[in-house]
Structure 1
């Protein structure tokens, strides 16, 4: 579990995060949504320790990030997995080498052990047999699954996903969503996902935090978001054509 209390962060005199309180639950797909400029990326970077908050606390399973010694922060980073918006695979490495990279960096596993783990994870994301392929030789959806495999190969306690469906077609995006949720449940991971994709919100939004102008304007689940009268939320989600159709169907009793 990750707890955030009174988080504030600004740059050059402009306050971006204005006092955020949130809880991200273990074994759940926790989503942060909001329009561009709402503070999502700054929020994520504070949780990752890339920015130092101006005020407030970030607590990882009872440990305050701001009070950790350098060594403990380094250990915490080893317990994190990160799925980047554009996959961020190493072009010069094979699929297998990309997936094994965190194991080389953060463990003392022997090469055969790393290969065995990589095979296991690649099978879990439905990519068996692609070990020796280069990223340029596989599709965008396959690249994203390789990136997910790399993010979870070290069995992290915390998984962060930054716009994981960016650039993917709806069918492939659903596959990625389902894999993230399944692995979260299987490994009991605290997963935090930044997204603007309402398809993802409806598919796997077990807990949702909606940011607006650096504040939490709404919290709930993917079921509750259909019922809210919060204007900030409805203004945001009504930009989704799919959401419009769902609301119309609900109103018609279908």
Structure 2
């Protein structure tokens, strides 16, 4: 579990995060949503330890990040997996090399041990015959699965995903959503996903934190988001005609 208490983050005279408090549960898919400029990317980077809040605290299963030594922070970061928006694969490395990279950097495993682990996680993300291919030789959806495999190869306790469906077609996006949810439950990971994709919200949004202008405007589940009367949330969620129709169907069913 990640517990956030009253964090503030500023850049110069710009107050980006304004007293956010929330929790992200283990074994659940926790989503951060909001319009561009709402502060969700800065929030995610604070959770990753890339930015340091001026006020407040972030706890990882009882460990307060700001109170850790440099060595303890380094150890904690090794328990974090990250799926970047553009996958961030190394073009000059094969799929196997990309997934093996964290093992070579942070462990003392033998090459055969690393290859066994890489084979295991690639099989888990349904990439069995792609070991020796390069990123340019596989599709965007496959690249995203490689990125997920690399993120979980160190068996992390915390998994962070920045717009994991960016650039994917709707069908592939759903497959990636379901894969992340399955891995979260299977390995009992605390997963936090930064997204603007409402399909992801409705598919896997077990816990949703909605940010507006650096403030936590609302939080709840994918079921509760239909029930809220919060105008900022409804304006964001039902900005498309599809979700307006879903909202209307929900209202009609209640009546």
The normalised TM-score by structure 2 is 0.97
In the alignment, which residue of structure 1 is the partner of 2:218?
218
| Counterpart check, 1:239 vs 2:239 | yes
Runs of 4+ residues over 3 Å off in structure 1: 251-254
- Distance in structure 2 (CA, Å) of the matches to 1:163 and 1:217: 20
- 1:32 to partner: Cα distance: 0.5
SS at match of 2:253: coil
| Counterpart check, 1:151 vs 2:160 | no
1:132-211 matched pairs, under 5 angstroms: 132-211=132-211
> 8 Å contact 2:238–2:247 — kept in the other structure?
no
> 8 Å contact 1:103–1:154 — kept in the other structure?
yes
- Distance in structure 2 (CA, Å) of the matches to 1:241 and 1:200: 17
In the alignment, which residue of structure 1 is the partner of 2:51?
51
1:33-44 matched pairs, under 5 angstroms: 33-44=33-44
> 8 Å contact 1:199–1:242 — kept in the other structure?
no
In the alignment, which residue of structure 1 is the partner of 2:10?
10
In the alignment, which residue of structure 1 is the partner of 2:74?
74
> 8 Å contact 1:198–1:240 — kept in the other structure?
no
Deviations 1:180-216 (A, max 9, x none): 0000000000000000000000000000100011111
Aligned residues: 254
- 1:252 to partner: Cα distance: 4.0
In the alignment, which residue of structure 2 is the partner of 1:32?
32
SS at match of 2:15: strand
In the alignment, which residue of structure 2 is the partner of 1:251?
251
State the superposition RMSD in angstroms. Answer: 1.1
- 1:247 to partner: Cα distance: 1.6
1:74-153 matched pairs, under 5 angstroms: 74-153=74-153
- 1:152 to partner: Cα distance: 0.6
Structure 2: tracts of 5 or more residues without a match = none
Deviations 1:107-137 (A, max 9, x none): 1111111111111111111110100000000
SS at match of 2:18: strand
- Distance in structure 2 (CA, Å) of the matches to 1:141 and 1:244: 29
- 1:226 to partner: Cα distance: 1.1
SS at match of 1:253: helix
In the alignment, which residue of structure 2 is the partner of 1:65?
65
